[in-house]
Amino acid sequence: DPVEAAKRAAAEKAVDEFVRDGMVVGIGSGSTIVYAVHRLAARAKLPEGDPLRISTAVFVPTSFQSRQLLAEAGLTVAELATREVLDVAIDGADEVDKSLNCIKGGGGCQLEEKLVASAARKFVVVADHRKQSERLGTCWTKGVPLEIAPSGYRLAMRLLAAKGATATLRMAKSKAGPVVTDGGHFVVDAHFGGIEDVPAMERWLKAVPGVLETGIFCGMASKAFFGQADGSVVEWA
Ligand code: DER
């Protein structure tokens, strides 16, 4: 599958460029990050003395999925609450623009993802070519994911609608009722079309009562790796 090959190429290049042994590394959620963890697990099996070998590095998850992935790969899991600062955080994204602003939260893990990305000296995005965007909101058309306090979801949706957004409560597929995040919150996807002013959009979304976190990662990433259909990797920095 060329998309999966593209994800893998991006993830492996990012891991080998940014992760060295002894580091505290934030690990994101979704499907692309799986290839990053598999690369790290392979590096944990390298012989002593190999500069790419991983043995004392620890990894901070961003979700139940991410924690399970790390544990199953035999990598050492550390918790964000026990760490002052991370050396690097690596995560996927749903869409990235040329200023490296991202829409994230397709997997509903944006709250912990933004904490981990913010706690890291460097935040690096890994994705396939479908995520490369000229203007945020034009490729990822499912809306900006928002982490919402459940009791406030109708208030938040009314306030978002008053600002011209089409807000939908994200419903679960194999469970009756809405998606519930690892933090016990709801997800509202707010549709705006293309986003003109990303920082302004992030600021006012965050100011809506009941919005605990947004999937807009504005000016946070220092580099993005995009796997291409031919297996090459395009880098934006
Ligand atoms: O939910 C998230 O923020 C994920 O990182 C998502 O944006 C990327 O998921 P993917 O790697 O499966 O496309």
User: What is the signed CA dihedral for 220, 231, 19, 79, rounded to 10 degrees?
Assistant: 60
- Determine the atom of ligand 1 nearest the C-alpha atom of 113: 3
Q: Which of 12, 95, 113, 147 is catalytic?
A: 113
What is the position in ligand 1's atom list of the atom closest to the CA of 106? 1
Stated as kind and residue range, the H or E segment containing 212 is strand 211-214
Note the pTM of the prediction, 2 decimals: 0.97
Atom 7 (ligand 1) nearest CA: 93
10-residue averages of pLDDT along the chain (237 residues): 97 98 98 98 97 98 98 98 97 98 98 98 98 96 97 97 94 97 98 93 96 98 97 97
pLDDT at 193: 86
ipTM score over 0.90, yes or no: yes
Rounded to whole angstroms, the Cα distance separating 57 from 42 reads: 13
Residue 94 CA, closest ligand 1 atom number: 7
Catalytic status, residue 113: yes
- Asked if residues 96 and 131 have their Cβ atoms less than 8 Å apart, the reply is yes
10 Å CB burial of residue 228 (0-12, 13-18, 19+) is: middle
Predicted confidence at residue 113, as pLDDT, reads 98
- The predicted pLDDT at position 221 comes to 98
Q: Is the CB of 105 under 6 A from ligand 1?
A: yes
Reduced 3-state DSSP string for 125-187: EEEEHHHECCCCCCCCCCCEEEEECHHHHHHHHHHHHHCCCEEEECECCCCCCECCCCCCCEE
Which residue puts its alpha carbon closest to atom 4 of ligand 1? 30
Element (H, E) at 32: helix 32-43
